[in-house]
Structure 1
Amino acid sequence: MQTTHQIRTYQAPIWAKNPHFQTIAPRVLWRRSKARLQWQQFELNDGDFVDLAWQNQFANDDTRPILLLLHGLHGCAESPYIKSLMQVNAQLGWRMVVMHQRGCSGRANRFWRSYHSGETDDLGQVVQMIKQRFPLAPLFAVGYSMGGNILLNYLIGEPKNPIQAAISVSAPLKLGACADAINKGFSKVYQRYLISLMRSSLVSKHRSHPNRIEHLKLRNSSTFWDFDNVYTAPVHGFVDAADYYQQCSPKTRMATIKTPHLVVHSQDDPFMNHEVLLEPTQVSSHGQYLLTQSGGHVGFLEGEMNRPQSWLNHVIPSYFKSQLE
């Protein structure tokens, strides 16, 4: 069993108690932050590609730790949680690389298929490339939201993987429950926004893949159940959305993970409900589970209202530093 790393407790400030504020505000707070990135087109084994965005790629020290970031659904290097961590890493000096899932870098991928919560082959190829290029560098990984699911599914399926330690933040560990939760109350706003982004992305690709799907069904998809039944499941080899959700939800297999890892959830996450949260028996002997009372979805704001900070940007470097010791 790994040594438990003591993590500073999260307590939401008075001005950030609302879970929707926690979820939405970071998009405004870190909107203007910029980082100097070096871009790499990485060719996949099946003929498609993903784009990687590096920070400090050309640093001289080949033993410098590498932090691999996996964005959430339809996220990218411009996502607020990634931009804010890059600000921290500018001081830390590690190499950092954002793996854009297929079609998420601002460029359409070549194939009609894209990515999903159980798509770990692309990640595996990127991890292998990084370790071949920097064999002496410790490799850490952080997955946010859907990226957290992909990361955890990879750790489950590849117990001898080269990742030294990993962190999952606000991952929808039980997909069906999340699809139900985000279809209720104010959370429908998030669902509508995300579905519109995914539909727009596919509609633009539909011109070059006109026979792959009925355009009207795609346009009429208004829930995750609809979208995943029409697109995600059939295109990626699942019977239907229920089959996809069952096969790609890592919750019941978390205890098998051998890589040291930290899982962070908030009880007030508007994308989820209590079914997503882990029971003690579902936490691996190599893992830690941190459940906070508040924090929203990939929020966890703290500090003063006029100088807000991200609690995650303290937790992430601190946890990985403990794994180097």
Structure 2
Amino acid sequence: MEWVGEWFGRARINYLHPQKSLNIKEKDGKSRTLAEICKSTVPPCYLNPLLFNGHAQTMWTAAKAHGPPLHYKRRIFEADHEEFNGSYVVDFAVTDPVLIKEHEADETLPPRTAYFSEKELDNMGSDDERPMLVILHGLSGGSHEIYLRYALAPLIESGKWEACVVISRGCANSKITTGLLYNARATWDVRQTVKWLKKTYPNRPLFGLGFSLGGCILTNYLGEEGSATPLKAAVVVGNPWALNISAKMLQKTFIGHHIYLKVLGDAMKALASRHKDELDKYTNIDTDNLLNLKYLYEFDRAYQCATWGYPTEEAYYRDASSSDSLLAVRIPFLAINALDDPIASSMALPEAEARHNPWVVLCTTSLGGHLGWFEPNGGRWHGKPISNFLNHMAFEVDLDSIDNGVNVKRTSGVPESGTNFDPMRRKMHVNLNK
């Protein structure tokens, strides 16, 4: 455990990892541990002292409406999973001058976004070796989110990276063709996207980045895939980890209950309202009641339980949490959380799990709120460690030399007693390959 002092907006930074962190060979022939790489790529955290706590940092996101003007083109995918069929979309970051002007984007989509043309879709694919980043956004968000663009912009503007954002079903003006939206265990769309990218761009090293609920989904995906994932490294930011703990902590305080849970509930109600026709057609949910609910946990009770078969929202939260999934991650993995995050509670941090897995480093800052990290100059600190770490992994590391844990069992227990622990054994069974 290592601490840096805190004063007037300077946040303390702490790292949690095993004593024997993953050993990684770099292109210059030297070897460094994952922990050493993370500590060298995470810069000091100097934040705006006027935004002096997690609430101020979190709420300032709503007040600060601008960010790097990234542009996207959207592709519609038909899901290949037998049970979780329907369509979903992926937004690809582009530098195409056609999309530079706001009025040339599609007005039915988020800002600076348009659909690929049929010709462009037919010509997708290449043999280039440019690193490609696969991003998962937060609850009810999309590729347009400011926190996401602050992290992605430095990579795209460098001219060295490609990137895409997997849009959770129904989000960011996407359409659904079934009664399914998404939840924290909904890993099949990112799985299909990663497989498609690997086939379409066979020489591109793939990396992952997840924010908030998207960080939970990405961690769950990596736990399910283990050493089989094509991703080379990943970063998750503001992951709520143990959803049941974060939910309880929110309900315990007035501001958590009546502001955050209401705002999050309103966001999900707005999402359901946009897709009311599909929900009425494909589910037995009482949508009139659904749209009159107030808090996020009420929405989860009425929608997630009815759609996915959980008896209570607490059962869903426990089953969809990603704390145990962290034990099964088998690629270099950097997690970043703020200890004063009022939504992803520090009480839910998987500290013991981070100390157990050599592929993992958990970095915490004492300040920052939920996906805030506002600096005095108006920038966002979290974009710096993200781009530093990913650039180092993509361009400085010998990726082929990384031990991905193929020969390492992801279970634990007492074999002589016949006991066994599988971190990915869920209570709700999902056939991922069906």
Please confirm whether the aligned pair reaches a TM-score higher than 0.5, indicating the same fold.
yes
SS, match of residue 308 in structure 1:
coil
Structure 1, gaps ≥5 residues long: none
Task: After TM superposition, give the deviation of residue 216 of structure 1 in Å.
Answer: 4.2
- For 1:208 and 1:285, locate their aligned partners in 2 and report how far apart those are by CA, in whole Å: 44
In structure 1, distance between residues paired with 2:195 and 2:127: 19
> What per-residue deviation string (whole Å, max 9, x for no partner) do you get for residues 60-99 of structure 1?
7711111111000000111111222333233222101111
Change (3 A) 1:79 1:10: same
1:293 is matched with which residue? 366
| Pair 1:200–1:122, CA change in 2 (3 A) | same
Correspondence for 1:114: 181
Does 1:185 pair with 2:254? yes
* Residue-by-residue CA offset, 1:259-297 (whole Å, 9 max, x unaligned): 110111111001033421122444421010101101000
Query: Aligned ranges for residues 257-268 of structure 1 at < 5 Å?
Result: 257-268=329-340
User: Corresponding residue for 2:202?
Assistant: 135
Deviates more, 1:172-181 or 1:12-21: 12-21
Aligned counterpart, 2:152: 86
Query: Amino acid of the residue matched to residue 97 of structure 1?
Result: C
Per the alignment, residue 105 of structure 1 pairs with 172
Q: What aligned pairs does 1:191-270 form with structure 2 within 5 A after superposition? A: 191-210=261-280, 212-270=284-342
Farther off after superposition, 171-180 or 79-88: 79-88
What SS does structure 2 have at the residue aligned with 1:294?
coil
| 2:90 counterpart of 1:52 | yes
Larger radius of gyration: 2
The residue matched to 1:172 in structure 2 has which SS? coil
- The worse-fitting range, judged by mean Cα deviation, of 107-116 and 186-195 is 186-195
What is the distance in 2 between the residues matched to 1:207 and 1:42? 21
**Alignment counterpart, residue 47 of structure 2, candidates 4, 9, 12:** 12
Aligned to 2:135: 69
Alignment partner, residue 41 of structure 1: 76
Aligned equivalents of 1:40, 1:29: Cα separation in 2 = 29
Number of residues paired by the alignment?
322
**1:171 partner SS:** coil
CA 1:181 to 1:88, structure 2 compared with 1: closer, same or farther past 3 Å? same
Cα distance in structure 2, aligned partners of 1:205 and 1:253: 31
Q: Which runs of 5+ in 2 are unaligned?
A: 1-21, 24-32, 96-123, 398-434
Query: Which deviates the most, 230-239 or 286-295?
Result: 230-239
When residues 24 and 61 of structure 1 are mapped into structure 2, their CA distance, relative to the original with a 3 A threshold, is farther
Contact 1:178 1:276 in 2 (8 A): yes
Name segments (4+ residues, structure 1) moved above 3 Å. 26-30, 56-61, 280-283
| CA-CA distance at 1:226 after TM superposition | 1.7
State the AA in 1 paired with 2:189.
D
Q: Call closer, same or farther: CA 1:60–1:156 in 2, change over 3 Å.
A: closer
SS of residue matched to 2:299: helix
TM-score for the superposition, normalised by structure 2 = 0.70
1:103 Cα deviation from its structure 2 partner: 0.5
Q: Could you tell me how far apart the structure 1 residues matched to 2:59 and 2:210 are?
A: 19
Residues 59, 201 of structure 1: alpha-carbon distance in 2 compared, 3 angstrom cutoff:
same
Q: Distance in 1 between matches of 2:163 and 2:255?
A: 35
Tell me if structure 1 keeps the 8 A contact 2:139–2:212: yes
* Larger mean Cα displacement after TM superposition, 20-29 or 310-319: 20-29
Q: Which amino acid aligns with 2:70?
A: A
Partners of 1:197 and 1:281 lie apart in 2 by 32
Specify the SS of the correspondent of 2:390.
helix
Scaled by the length of structure 1, what TM-score is found?
Answer: 0.92
Aligned residue number for residue 173 of structure 1: 241
User: CA RMSD of the aligned region, Å?
Assistant: 2.1
- Note the alpha carbon deviations across 1:2-46, whole angstroms, 9 max, x for none: 412122232433123221221132344452642221211122114
What pairs up with 1:276-291 in 2 under 5 angstroms? 276-283=348-355, 284-291=357-364
User: 1:252 touches 1:282 (CA, 8 Å); kept in 2?
Assistant: no
Do the aligned partners of residues 71 and 255 (structure 1) sit closer, same or farther apart at CA in structure 2, a change above 3 Å counting? same
The 3-state SS of whatever aligns with 2:128 is: coil
Paired residues of 1:19 and 1:269 also in contact (CA < 8 A): yes
**CA 1:59 to 1:8, structure 2 compared with 1: closer, same or farther past 3 Å?**
farther
CA distance in 2, matches of 1:272, 1:151: 16
* Cα 1:112–1:207 shift into 2, 3 Å: same
CA distance in structure 2 between the partners assigned to 1:255 and 1:32 by the alignment: 35
